[in-house]
Structure 1
Amino acid sequence: MKHLLNLLAAIALLVWGTHLVRAGILRVFGANLRNVLSHSVSNRWTAAISGLGVTALVQSSTATALIVSSFVGQGLVTLPIALAVMLGADVGTSLMAVVFSFDLSWLSPLFIFSGVVMFLSRQSSPVGRFGRVLIGLGLMLLALRLIAASTAIMTQSPVVKALLESITTELLLEITVGAFISLIAYSSLAMVLLTATMAASGLVPLESALGLVLGANLGSGLLAVLTTAKSAIEVRQVPLGNFVFKAIGVMVVAPFAGLWLRYARPYITDAATVVVLFHLTFNIVVGVLFIGLTQVVAGWVGKWLPKPEKNMVAGRPHHLDPSALATPSLAISCAAREALHQADVVETMMVGMLTVIKNNDLKLAEDLRKLDDSVDELYSAIKYYLTKISREALGEEESRRWTDIISFTINMEQIGDIVERILIDVEDKKIKKDRNFSDAGMAEICELHARLIDNLRLGMSVFLNGSVRDAQKLLEEKARFRDLERAYASTHLTRLSGNTMQSIETSGLHIDLISDLKRINSHICSIAYPILDSAGALAPNRLRQAAIEEASG
C-alpha cells in the first residue's frame, strides 16, 4: 500500500510540475506567443512550424489549441490554417517527451534550488515567474525519478503482475485507459512520460505501453474539445478538427503498432526511448499525412458545427470565452474586446440621444433607455469574467491592463446611466410639455454633442492602442470641453436676460443637459489617466487634481 501511495504521489507531482511549467511560460511569454502564432500563419507549413515551436515551449498542445481557437473566433486565422498549427503543436509536445526521457535527474536539484531562489527574491517580476518555470521543470524530473523507483519495487509483487496481465491484453482497452488518464491528468505529456517510465521499469509491457501512448494522443484531442465545449462555434471548430486528425491517426496506426515495435526494438535498447520515439513518430506521420487535408477536414467540421446565422442582437459574437481563462493573456484580450462592445452600445445611446432631443422621438427614447440595461449587463459580465482570472497569473503589463479594463467598463457604465437620466429629463421636461430649445441653444447642444462623440471614439482608440499621444490629446479635450460648457452656460444666461421665451421654458433642462454632457466627457477623458500615468507622462499632483475634479463634478 505504501509503494502504491508513493507512486500516486509521484504521478501527482509530475502533473503538478507540468502545470507549473505551462502556466509559468504563459505568464512570462503569453503575449509574445500569441504574436508569434498570429504572424506565422501565411501558409500551412509555416503555421505548423510555429505551432511546433510554441508548443515545445509551453509543453501543452491544449494551451496552443485555446490560443489558436481564439484567433479563429476573432476572424484572424482561417480554420484550415489553425488546423495546420495544431498538427505542428502535436509534434512539439512529442518532442518535449523525447527530451524528458533522457536521464536529466541531475538537473532536478539545480532547477528547484535556482527556481526557489529566483521566485522568493523577485516574485512579481519576470525573473520570479521564470523561477516558477524552473521549479516546475525540477519537479517533473524529480517525479520521473520517483516513479521509476516506485514502479521498480511494485513490479516485484505477484499481485501487481497478475493485475497488469489482466488489463493489458486488449489494444482497445489500453487506448481507452490512456485517453482516460490523459483527461484526468490534463496533460498528454505527463501521461506519455509516465508510460515511458513504467515501461522502462517493467511495470507495463512495451506492447501495452504503445497502446497507452495512442490513448494519450486521443485523450489530448478530446481534452481540448471538452475544454471549449461552452465556447462559440468558431472556437470549438479547431479542437474538433484536431480530434478528427488524432482519431483517424489512431485508427490507422493502431494495427501496425506491433509491427513498428518489431522493427524498431532491435535498434533501441532503452524501453522508455522506444515509447517516446513511437509517440514522436505517430505525431510526425499524422502531421505529414494530414497537413494537405486541412481544407477537407475543415469542411467536415464546418458541416458538423455550422456557424449560426447572425442578427443584430443575439447573433453578435460574445468574446468572454470561458476556455480562455486558462491562458491569462488571452482572457485579458477577450475582456478588452467585450469592453469595446460595451463602448459601442454606449455610443449608440449617445448618438440616438441627440435624435431624441431634436425630433422629440419617444419611441426611440424608450429603446435607448433599454440599451442601458445591456450596458449594465455587459459591465457585470466583464467584471465577473475578470475576477475569475488569477491576479497572480498575470504579468505586470497584463495586471495593468486588467485594471484599465475595469476602469474603462466602469466609466462606460456610468456614461450609460447619465444618458438614461438625460433621456428621462428630456421626456418629462421637453417632449411631454411640448417645449423646444431656442435655435441658438440647440446649436450649442449639437456642438457639445459632436465633440462628445469625437472624444468617445478617441477614448476607445486610446483604450485599444494605449497611445500616449492620443491620451494627451484626449486630456487636452477635457479642458476645451469644460471651457466651452462654461461659455455656453454664460450665453444661455444672456438669452434669458433678453426674455427669450424658448430659453426661459427650457432653461433648467438646458443647464442640466450641458452639465451632464460635461460629466460624460469627464468619464471619457478619464480613460487617458492610466495610460499617461503608466508612461510617466502625468505628474502626481495633476492626477490628484483630476481626481478631485471628477469627484466634484
Structure 2
Amino acid sequence: MILFSGRGKWDGCADYSVGADFYFSFATMQGVFDYWEFLAGIGLFLWGMSQVEQGLKGLAGNSFKDLLHRYTNKPWKGIVAGTLVTAILQSSSLVTLMVLAFLGGGMIHLRNALGVVLGANMGTTFTAWIVATFGFKLSVADFAFPFLAIGVMTYLFTNSRPFLKYVGIFLLGFGLLFLGLDYMKVSIDTYAAAVDLSTFGEYGRWRFLLLGILITAMIQSSSAMIVIVLSAINAGLIGTDHALAMIIGANIGTTFTLVLGAVGGTADKKRLALANFMFNGIVGVLCFFWIDELILLSIRVFQLTDPLFELVLLNSLINGLMILGFYPFLLPLEAWLKRRFRSDIPKGKSQFVKNISTEIPSVALIALRKEMDGVLQNTLKLVWKIVHKHKGPRKDASVWRKITFQPKDLLLDYQQLKNLEEELFEFALRLQAENLRAEEANRLSDLSQTLRFLVVGAKEFKDIVHNLKEMEDATEPFVAEVLADLQEEVKDFLTVFEEYQALAETDTPTLQAVEEKLKATYSEKIHSLYSQLRTKKTDVPVSTLANVIQQVFSGLGLIWKGIGSMQKEVPEETAEVR
C-alpha cells in the first residue's frame, strides 16, 4: 500500500494481484515512515469530527432538525438543506439518520429524502475546502493549540452550564481535527522526502480507486480519507490523477457505512442505502474514466495551479455532477425504489412508529403524535358503529345469545384498536429509555395518557353493545326514546369534535366547557330517567338503562379527555406532508 510501505516501493512486482499490491505488514515497516504517528493522526482527526458533531448537536440540534424538516417539501430544497446541514455538522450519517426518521414518520416523501442524501454528499466536501485553505498554509499545530486549550478549559470549568459546555466540546473537536491533520502531514512529508516517488506512477489508477474504496470502508469517513489524500499530494507522493482516483474511491467507499447500517433494517433504510450507493457508484465510475478531462477542465476553465485546490474543486465538481445527473430522475427513482424491499416493511398496525427508531426523540414524538390521530379516528368510528349501526342476532335466537351478543366485526375493530395500543405503548417505553429533555418527557406522558383515555373510552362503548341491542328490541316506546336520545348525544359530540378540530389549535376554555357539559348532561339524563319511570313503562331493567347512560357519557368523557391531552402544546411539525 502506497502510504504505509516503509521501503518506498511496492512489495513484489507489478503484476501481482490487487490484494498483494495493497498488502502491508507492520512487522516489516521500517525506515522513515512513522506509522504510529500517522495512525494517531487519523484517530485524532476522527475523534475531532465526532466532538465537533456532538458540540453542534448540543448547541443547535433541534435547529438542524427543524431546518431539514421545514425545507424538504421539495427535492431541490432537500438538496440545499442536506448540503448546508452536512457542511455544518460534517456528519452525513447523522443527517441520514434524521432523514430516515422523517421518512419513517411520514413527514417527507422518499424523493425529497433522496434530495437530502444528494445534498449530504456535497456537504461532506466542505471539510476538504477547510483543510486545503488552512491546513497546509499555516502552522497546523500552532493553529490547533489555542482551540484545544480554550476548549478543554471551557469544558472542564463550565460543565454545569450546557451552552458553554457544548462550546467547549466544539472547540476541542476543532482543535483535534487540525492536530490530527498535523500528525498525518508530518509523517507523510517525512516519508515522501526519503523515498523514490517515481515508482508510484507505474501503477494503474484503478488500484488507487480500489485503495480509496477499501480505506474509506474501513475507517468509515470519506472526510478523513480525503485529508489523507491531500496530505499525500501536498508531499508530492502522488499525482493529481492518482489522487482524484482515490477521492472517487472514497466517495464510493463511504456508501458502505449506510449499506452496513441497512443490513437487517427497515425497507426505507435499505432504499436510501441503495440510492446512495447508486448515486456515488454510477457517477464515480463514469468520472473515473474521464479523469484526464476533469483535470483539464480545472486547469483551463478555473485556471488552478495549486494541486490541493484543484483536487477539492474536482471533488465538489463530481458531487455537483451527481446532483445534476440524478435530480431530474428522482420521481421515477422513487417509484422504482418503492417496489424494492417490500418484504422488509416492518410488521405492525401502526403507520409511522414502526418505521423509525427512538434515537431522535423529537422526531419519534412527532410520529407518535401522528399515530394518535389514527387512534382517535378509529375510536370515533367504532363508537358510531356501536351506537348507530350494530346488527343484532335473529329474533328467534336464545335469550342467552341475545344477552351475550357482541357483533364479530365490532369485536374485531376493538381488538385491532387494542393491538395498536399495545404496539404504541411498547414504542413509548423504548422512547422513555432514551435521554429525553424535560419537555420531551412531559409530551410523551401526555401522549401515553391520550392513548389510554381513547382506548378505555372505546371499551366503555364495546361493553354495552348487547344492552343497546336489548333496548332496540324493546316494545315499550319509552326505551326507544332513551336510545334515540343517546344516539343524538353521540351525534352532537362528534359535531362538537369536528368544530373543535377545525380550529387547528388548542382551545382550553372549549375543552373545559365540553367536559363540564358532558357531566351536567349525564346527571340530567339520569334524573330524567328516574323521573319518567313514575309514569312510563319499560320492558328493559332500569339498571340496564342507567348503566347504558352512565357508560355512554363516561366513554365520551374519556375520549374528550384524550383529545385534550393530545392537543397540549402541539408542535408545528405535526402538520401532514403526505
TM-score over 0.5 for the pair? yes
TM-score by length of 2: 0.71
Offset of 1:73 from its aligned partner?
6.1
Give unpaired runs (5+ residues) of structure 1.
533-553
The one-letter amino acid of 1:441's match is V
* Alpha-carbon distance in 2 for matches of 1:518, 1:301: 43
Taking the TM superposition and a 5 Å limit, the aligned residue runs for 1:178-197 are 178-197=212-231
2:353–2:427 contact (8 Å) kept in structure 1: yes
Partner in structure 2 of residue 347 of structure 1 = 380
Partner in structure 1 of residue 425 of structure 2 = 380
Deviations 1:37-72 (A, max 9, x none): 555568766554443323222323344445556666
Taking the TM superposition and a 5 Å limit, the aligned residue runs for 1:127-166 are 128-151=165-188
1:449–1:517 contact (8 Å) kept in structure 2: no
Local SS of the residue matching 2:463: helix
2:525–2:549 contact (8 Å) kept in structure 1: no
Q: CA RMSD in A?
A: 4.7
Partner in structure 2 of residue 302 of structure 1 = 335
Offset of 1:214 from its aligned partner?
1.2
Deviations 1:186-242 (A, max 9, x none): 432233224323554577776554333212211334434554566665665455334
Partner in structure 2 of residue 245 of structure 1 = 279
1:111–1:138 contact (8 Å) kept in structure 2: yes
* Alpha-carbon distance in 2 for matches of 1:154, 1:118: 37
The one-letter amino acid of 1:413's match is R
| 2:273 corresponds to 1:220 | no
2:447–2:566 contact (8 Å) kept in structure 1: no
The one-letter amino acid of 1:509's match is N
| 2:465 corresponds to 1:420 | no
2:379–2:455 contact (8 Å) kept in structure 1: yes
Taking the TM superposition and a 5 Å limit, the aligned residue runs for 1:359-438 are 362-387=407-432, 389-391=434-436, 400-420=439-459, 422-427=461-466, 431=469, 438=479
1:174–1:208 contact (8 Å) kept in structure 2: yes
Query: Structure 1 residues 113-122 or 409-418, which shifts more?
Result: 113-122
Structure 1 pair 153/286, CA: closer, same or farther in 2 (3 Å)?
same
Offset of 1:341 from its aligned partner?
3.1
| 2:121 corresponds to 1:90 | yes
Structure 1 pair 301/414, CA: closer, same or farther in 2 (3 Å)?
closer
* Alpha-carbon distance in 1 for matches of 2:194, 2:495: 77
Offset of 1:448 from its aligned partner?
4.7
Task: Decide which of 302, 305, 320 is 2:353's aligned counterpart.
Answer: 320
| 2:317 corresponds to 1:281 | yes
* Alpha-carbon distance in 2 for matches of 1:387, 1:167: 57
Partner in structure 1 of residue 482 of structure 2 = 441
Structure 1 pair 425/84, CA: closer, same or farther in 2 (3 Å)?
closer
Structure 1 pair 480/194, CA: closer, same or farther in 2 (3 Å)?
farther
The one-letter amino acid of 1:213's match is I
Give unpaired runs (5+ residues) of structure 2.
1-25, 28-33, 393-404, 571-578
User: More helix by proportion, 1 or 2?
Assistant: 1
The one-letter amino acid of 2:542's match is I
Deviations 1:87-116 (A, max 9, x none): 443222213321133236555444445555
* Alpha-carbon distance in 2 for matches of 1:231, 1:461: 38
1:241–1:297 contact (8 Å) kept in structure 2: no
| 2:511 corresponds to 1:474 | yes
Structure 1 pair 364/18, CA: closer, same or farther in 2 (3 Å)?
same
2:122–2:316 contact (8 Å) kept in structure 1: yes
Offset of 1:348 from its aligned partner?
3.5
Offset of 1:513 from its aligned partner?
0.9
Offset of 1:527 from its aligned partner?
0.6
Partner in structure 2 of residue 59 of structure 1 = 90
Taking the TM superposition and a 5 Å limit, the aligned residue runs for 1:68-83 are 68=99, 83=114
The one-letter amino acid of 1:490's match is H
* Alpha-carbon distance in 2 for matches of 1:142, 1:512: 73
* Alpha-carbon distance in 2 for matches of 1:205, 1:278: 14
* Alpha-carbon distance in 2 for matches of 1:25, 1:237: 28
Local SS of the residue matching 2:339: coil
2:348–2:354 contact (8 Å) kept in structure 1: no
1:345–1:371 contact (8 Å) kept in structure 2: no
2:80–2:119 contact (8 Å) kept in structure 1: yes
Partner in structure 2 of residue 539 of structure 1 = none
Query: Structure 1 residues 505-514 or 78-87, which shifts more?
Result: 78-87
* Alpha-carbon distance in 2 for matches of 1:179, 1:473: 62
Structure 1 pair 49/425, CA: closer, same or farther in 2 (3 Å)?
closer
Deviations 1:442-482 (A, max 9, x none): 245335534654676689889xx7x4x42443233222322
* Alpha-carbon distance in 1 for matches of 2:201, 2:513: 74
Task: Decide which of 127, 152, 158 is 1:121's aligned counterpart.
Answer: 158
1:455–1:524 contact (8 Å) kept in structure 2: no
Local SS of the residue matching 2:353: coil
The one-letter amino acid of 2:120's match is A
Partner in structure 1 of residue 50 of structure 2 = 19
Offset of 1:250 from its aligned partner?
1.1
The one-letter amino acid of 1:373's match is K
The one-letter amino acid of 1:96's match is T
Offset of 1:326 from its aligned partner?
5.4
Query: Structure 1 residues 249-258 or 449-458, which shifts more?
Result: 449-458
1:339–1:405 contact (8 Å) kept in structure 2: no
- Matched positions, count: 513
* Alpha-carbon distance in 1 for matches of 2:115, 2:563: 44
* Alpha-carbon distance in 2 for matches of 1:314, 1:355: 33
Offset of 1:510 from its aligned partner?
2.5
